[in-house]
């Protein structure tokens, strides 16, 4: 029998969870293996966590898979990650209707290989009408790039640059703001992830390296979130 999953009341559940999946390389090293071994294990973790989030009732899950800064890694590792995205998407495409997820890819994809861009477009097209959790995969993503592209788009059309207008042009337009941001791997930083969208996110850092992060760890983070008092700059109601 599997362990009981704590049920969190909907009003205490984050609508939008964003995860910085960090620690693949260090985990591989601990295993005495090359970094590629860690990245492959990271994909398996991601798959489990997506299912757990969807079952828990999260509406939007954003996973940071490749940052703009990650282009500066050694070419061999970048190529490996690109091949891993392609093989993972090809495999996932075969079972896309499982859980009825709506897939979207966010980031600057100009530098990606045409094959990968086509796979991303096909995945988005095939899941567009699904009714389940929205899964945003951030690849080639940078929070500063996102804000800059939103402002540039307003400027091109001669529109006033207000906070609302910028928000409406971010790649996450239409989705709720990030409620809970999780970073695995022990670092206490957000590494240019969803800077604007996480303005009022609760930040959850844990030492677990991403390949070892399981459904149980996600449930722990969701329970921790349920106990937070969010004030958004106001005073608590009972004050």
Tell me, yes or no, if 24 is annotated catalytic: no
With contacts defined by CB under 6 A, name the span among 88-96, 185-193, 198-206, 219-227 that binds ligand IPE: 185-193
Burial classification of residue 60, based on how many CB atoms lie within 10 Å of its CB (0-12 exposed, 13-18 middle, 19 or more buried): buried
Q: What is the DSSP-derived secondary structure letter of residue 31?
A: T
Check binding of 22 to Mg ion (CB under 5 A). yes
CB burial of residue 162 (10 Å; 0-12, 13-18, 19+): exposed
Binding of ligand IPE at residue 185 (CB under 6 A)?
yes
81 contacts ligand IPE (rule: CB under 6 A): yes
The 148-177 site mask, x for binding ligand IPE (CB under 6 A), equals ------------------------------
Report DSSP state, residue 125. Answer: H
- For 133, which DSSP code? -
Grouping H, G, I as helix, E, B as strand and the rest as coil, residue 10 is: helix
Partner touching 189 among Mg ion, ligand IPE, none, CB below 5 to 8 Å by kind? ligand IPE
**What are residue 62's DSSP bridge partners?**
18, 136
Considering the complex, state which of residue 16 and residue 169 has its C-beta at the smaller distance from ligand IPE: 16
Judged by CB under 6 A, the chain residues 1 through 60 that form the site for ligand IPE are: 20-26
A 10 A CB-CB count for 101 gives 22
Binding mask 189-218 for Mg ion (x = CB under 5 A): ------------------------------
Site string for ligand IPE, 58-77 (x = CB under 6 A): ------xxxx--x-------
Count of residues binding ligand IPE (CB under 6 A)? Answer: 17
Tell me how far CA of residue 179 lies from CA of 16, 19, 45, 225, 229, in angstroms: 5, 11, 22, 9, 12
The strand pairing partners of 105, in sequence order, are 137
The residue from 11, 22, 24, 130 that is catalytic is 22
Is 179 among the catalytic positions?
A: no
Partners of 138 in beta bridges: 64, 106
d(CA 28, CA 185): 12
Q: How far is the CB of 10 from ligand IPE (least distance, A)?
A: 29
Binding site for ligand IPE (CB under 6 A): 20-26, 64-67, 70, 81, 185, 187, 189, 191
**Residues identified as active-site:** 22, 70
């Amino acid at each position: 029998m599997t362990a009981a999953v704590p049920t969190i009341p909907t009003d205490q559940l984050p609508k939008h969870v964003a995860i910085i999946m960090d620690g693949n390389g260090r985990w591989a090293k601990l295993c005495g293996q090359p970094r590629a071994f860690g990245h492959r294990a990271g994909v398996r973790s991601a798959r489990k966590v997506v299912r757990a989030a969807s079952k828990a009732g999260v509406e939007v899950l954003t996973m940071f898979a490749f940052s703009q800064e990650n282009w500066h890694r050694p070419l061999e590792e970048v190529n490996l990650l690109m091949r891993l995205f392609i093989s993972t998407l090809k495999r996932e495409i075969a079972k896309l209707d499982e859980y009825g997820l709506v897939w979207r890819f966010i980031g600057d994809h100009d530098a990606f290989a045409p094959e990968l861009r086509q796979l991303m477009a096909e995945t988005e097209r095939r899941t567009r009408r699904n009714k389940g959790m929205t899964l945003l995969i951030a690849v080639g993503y940078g929070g500063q790039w996102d804000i800059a592209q939103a402002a540039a788009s307003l400027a091109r059309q001669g529109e006033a640059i207000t906070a609302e207008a910028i928000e409406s042009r971010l790649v996450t337009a239409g989705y709720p703001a990030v409620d809970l941001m999780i970073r695995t791997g022990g670092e206490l930083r957000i590494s240019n992830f969803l800077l604007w969208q996480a303005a009022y996110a609760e930040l959850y850092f844990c030492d677990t390296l991403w390949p070892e992060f399981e459904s149980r760890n996600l449930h722990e983070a969701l329970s921790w979130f349920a106990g937070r008092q969010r004030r958004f700059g106001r005073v608590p109601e009972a004050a």
